[in-house]
Structure 1
Amino acid sequence: MFSKKKIINLTILLFFIFNISILIFAGKERDEKHGIGSLGLEIFSRIENLFSGTSMLVSDTWNLYFNLINAQKENTDLSRQIKEYKAMETSYIELSLENKRLRALLKFSPEIDSRYIAAEVTGRDSSKWFNTIVVNRGAKSGVKAGFPVIVPEGIVGQVIEVSNNCSKVLLITDRMSGVDVLVQKSRGRGILSGTGDKNCVLKYLLRKFLIEPGDHIVSSGLDNIFPKGLRIGTVVEAKKKNAGIFQEVEVKPFVDFEKLEEVLIIFNRK
C-alpha cells in the first residue's frame, strides 16, 4: 500500500513529465521556424509558471491555515469571555437578591424587648426524620440553646445545639418541636407540634373554641421561649372526635422552610 505522501509526490512527478512531453512534441513542429532556443525558452517559461503557481498555491494555503488558526483562537477567547460574563451576571443577580432579602430582614422589626442578630442558613438535615437547619452564628456571637429563630413571615424554630461559629435550629415542623400558641380570634390555647411534613398540628385545644379555616395562630409567650404574638400559621382544618375534650387542628405555617436563606436569632432575656 502507498502512503498519501507517496501518492501526492508521484502525481506531481507524472504531471511534470506530462507537461514536458507536451512541450517537446509541440516544439518539434515549430523547430524549423523558431529553432531549438525558442523551444527551450518555452519549456522554461512553462516550468517557471508551474512553480510560480505552485508557490502561490502553497502561500495561499498557509495563509488560509493561519487565518483559520487565528479565527479558532478568537472564537475560543470569545467563548471564554462569554462564560465569564455569564458567571458575573449570575453572581450579580445572586448578590442583588441577597441584598433584597437582607434589606427586608433589616426593615423587619419584631415588637419584642430583646436583642437579635441576623444569621445565614448554611446547612440542612437531609433525612426525613429530622427537620433542622444550620446557621452561621454560634457561641462567639452570644447564641445559646433555646434562643428563638424567626423571619418576617413568622416563627422558624429554636436553637438546640451551639458550637463556636454555628448553631443547629429545630424547625417547628419537626416532630420533637412544641410551641405554646393561641388561636388569634377565639383565644383558644394549645401546643403546636410538627408532623415531619410541611404542616403542623395544634393539640390540646379545647372543643369549646370555635375554629375556622383561615384563623391565624400566634405564639402565646407562655413557654418562656417565644415572645408573645409572633406569627406562626393559618388553620387548614379542625377535627373534633366523637369523644374527648380536645380538638385537633391542622396548621399551615407562614414560613416556607424550603426557601430559608437568612434568619433572625432572638436573644432571650432569661
Structure 2
Amino acid sequence: MKKHPFQNFTIDHTTMLFHPKLYIMSYVVFRIIFGTTPEDLLYEKKRKGKDGQKDVSMTYATRLGEWQPKEKNDPLNTIFALVQPSEPAGTPSHVRTMLEGHDAVAHVQHLALRTPDLIAFHKHCVERGVQFVTPILKDDHENLIQVFSGEWFLPGSKSSGFFFEFLQRDPSDSELATIQKANKQSWFRDETFLGLYDEKEREYQSGNVLSFFKKDLFEAILAKVGDKQVYEITETDLEQIETMMIEMTAKANKT
C-alpha cells in the first residue's frame, strides 16, 4: 500500500491524568529530573477559587526538549510499540494484570524519552533518588541503549502500570563498553528488552512493584511543597528540594 504525505505523523503531545499528589510531583520531576525551565512552561490553566480560596491549578503543559537531527535529512521517527498478553490464559502475566487492573482493553504503559547522553542522564537521576527496574540495556534489534524507571504511583496504593523509558540511539563503542561492564557488576539476568519484560513479570508476581521514588523521598518532597499549587512553586523551592533529594539519596546509599 502507498503511504501518503498526509500520513507522515509525529507525536505532538501526550496528555496524562494524575492524582493531585502525582500532579504536583510531576512538576517537581519535570523541573529537577528532566531539566525543564520556566520558559518551557507552555501554559498553566487555573480554576477560580471559591469563597476566597486560592485558585487551583487545572492543567499545565511543558516542553521537554527540542530534538535536532544530526544531519539535515536525518529522520526523527514516530514509533508506536504495542504489547499484548502472550502467556496462556490462567498463567501469570503482568500485561494482563495491568489491563485488568484498570478495567481496560488499552493502557499506556510507558513513555520513551530520547536523550543524547543516556549514561550522564542516568547518573543524574540516580543521584536524585530515581529508581530503575533495569540497568542500562542494549537493544538486541536496534542500535540503541535504554533504561526503564520505576512506576508512578502513590506510596501504599496499587501500582499504576505506568513508567518511563529513557533511550539513546547510536551509542559509541566506549558507551557500550561502559554499560556492559556495569551490567556484569550488577549480575543482570538479560541485557535486552526481554530483560525488562521478565523483570516486570517478577515484580507483578511478587506484588513488589518498584516505584519511581522511594516512599520516604516521595513524602519528603510533598512535605516540602506543602499546599502550594504549581504556579506557587518558586525557583528557591526547587533548589531546596533538589538539594534534599541528593542528600537523602546519598545518605540512603551509605546505609
TM superposition score normalised by structure 2: 0.24
Q: Which has the higher contact order (CA 8 A, sep 6+)?
A: 2
Computing the radius of gyration over CA atoms, which structure comes out larger, 1 or 2?
1
